[in-house]
Chain A
Amino acid sequence: MSILYILWLRQLKRFSRSRARVLASLAQPLLFLFAMGFGFGPTFEKAGNGNYIQFLAPGIVAMAILFSAMFSGIEILWDRQFGFLKETLVAPVPRIQIVMGRALGSATVAMIQGMIVFFICLIAGFQIHDYELLPAALAFMFLIAMLFTALGTAVGSLIEDMQAFPLIMNFLVMPMFFFSGAIFPVGNLKGILHDILRCNPLSYGVDGLRGALSHGAVFGMGTDFVVLGLATLALLVLANYFFSKIEV
């Protein structure tokens, strides 16, 4: 327990001490919120879909969590290059505890960033649909955070080279965000785009969050929860497996 706690605490301290990182990670979601939210708002309304901010905000919260969680997961790579990883790898502690301590810390950090973006959405005019569903929203936020921390950890354990980082951002993180229904409604989609969306775990996170916060969920919040939960479990197993194979 104390091992999970100290590794969790380390992630939180790193986050709170790096103000530049906090600001940088908030810039992108906010840009999307304001540029897209207010830019497409009138068109979205004219098409009969209601208030765009109401629709977009849960997607942007999910985005903030996705980026932060993936980044902290991949930070393992950073720790490896700067040497700290070795200190944890030679410690008489099962690697699963190291992975889980880190992951819980990173997920907490991602959730905090999601909350900050959520509060900014409230300031920008977002209205909570049903206060009783807020705990469900928090649960979805946590699942999204854990899922992508696990994915980041798996990826960060596999690659050794910092130069692979932009590759991952452009070919994994960005597509996951764009094909998640965070910025457009998925209900009327057909064909390959629809199939891609259904295969993307983030789609269920966005959908669940939207169900809990504003518009109804398209897939149903129960489905969202189950799919997200299973994907998180699977990725945690994968992250643990790849992490256990690290040699330094």
Chain B
Amino acid sequence: MVIIASNLVKRFKEFRAVDDVSFEVEAGKIFGFLGPNGAGKTTTIKMLTTTLIPSGGKILLDGNDPQKDPLAARRSFGIVFQDPSLDGEMTATENMKLHAVLYGVPRSSQQERINSSLDFVGLLDRKNSFAKTFSGGMKRRLEIARALLHTPKILFLDEPTLGLDPQTRNHVWEYIQTLAKEKNMTVFFTTHYMDEADRVADEIAVIDHGRIVARGSPGDLKKNTASRTLEEAFISLTGHAIREEESSAKDRTRAMGRLWGRT
């Protein structure tokens, strides 16, 4: 098992954003983590990727405990964040170069890898343009190329295809599926596109209100809920209510606190 999360908890004051979540992901598998807004997806990813310290539970990434040995854990994964994380004042190449140095990509192969990654996402001809001049989709592509630059064992994708057109989305997923198969790369992703999850995920976990409510292959989930599509299955699992999501964990905490009169 490349990713192991056991009894993961994250509390923001009284509010349990992630409440006793456990799952395991096998090497080379594509794992979809689905849930409505504010269900705890991003909080979970943040804990897995060492930017948020869990209130309880245990994580192992490729055998490394992010809390005990964050550097080893960080070396094992690449991540595409939900919101942008490029330096707009630097060119595409400079963003890639900085990443290569941070991840210790050998100097001799840096240039070649940067160029081939940029080429794959169709940005090679724009490699000397500033990231701030890119459209939303181009920024996304650059971030995906960057996350794969150091050939990580695990790839975390937090709504990676948001803002991408179907062509690019298919292209990106095809490439990720190939990497998963050929390089045995493990993929952990969240998305709101159910058709996408249905198509690419080997396994899915549905999280709601900080708890995992269902697990299995897309086929299993559809069968168990007697649904024709994954979207129907998702809605039958999580209900029709529209969720509110605040901009930051702190805001969310306060909002939930007010809702329950706990401020």
Across the interface, do A17 and B89 meet the contact criterion of CB distance under 8 Å? yes
Which A1-50 residues have a C-beta within 8 angstroms of B? 2-3, 6-7, 10, 13-14, 17-18
CB distance from B80 to the nearest CB of A (A): 11
- Select one of B88, B98, B146 contacting A6, CB under 8 A: B98
- Whether the Cβ atoms of B102 and A86 lie closer than 8 Å is no
**Contact bitstring A63-97, B, C-beta under 8 A = 1, else 0:** 00000000000000001001110111111111000
Q: How far is the CA of A87 from the CA of B99 in the complex (A)?
A: 8
Provide 12 A-B residue pairs closer than 8 Å at the C-beta atoms, listed in order of the A residue: A3-B101, A6-B97, A6-B98, A7-B98, A13-B89, A14-B90, A83-B85, A87-B98, A89-B50, A90-B74, A92-B74, A248-B51
B75 interface hit (Cβ, 8 Å): yes
The answer on a CB contact under 8 Å between B51 and A247 is: yes
List of 9 A-B pairs having minimum Cβ-Cβ separation, nearest first? A91-B102, A92-B74, A83-B85, A92-B75, A6-B101, A84-B87, A92-B71, A87-B85, A83-B84
Say whether B46 contacts A248, CB under 8 Å: yes
Asked whether A89 lies within 8 Å of B103 as measured between CB atoms, the reply is no
B156 to chain A, nearest CB (A): 9
- Measured between beta carbons, the chain A residues less than 8 angstroms from B88 are 82
Whole-angstrom distance between the alpha carbons of A10 and B89 in the complex?
9
> In the assembled complex, which residues on chain B have CB atoms less than 8 Å from the CB atom of A247?
46, 51-53
With contacts A90-B49, A92-B74 known, is A83 near B102, CB below 8 A? Answer: no
Q: List A contacts of B103 (CB < 8 A).
A: 91-92
For B50, the chain A residues whose CB sits under 8 A away are: 89-90
* B125 interface hit (Cβ, 8 Å): no
CB distance from A73 to the nearest CB of B (A): 17
B120 close to A (CB within 8 Å): no
Q: Is the CB of A84 within 8 A of B86?
A: yes
List of A residues within 8 angstroms of B46 by Cβ: 247-248
Residues on B with C-beta less than 8 A from A83 are 81, 83-86
B64 CB to closest chain A CB (Å) equals: 10
C-alpha spacing A192/B52, complex, angstroms:
45
Q: Complex: how many Å from CA A14 to CA B131?
A: 13
Evaluate whether A82 and B102 lie within 8 angstroms (CB atoms) in the complex, with A94-B71, A248-B46 already known: no
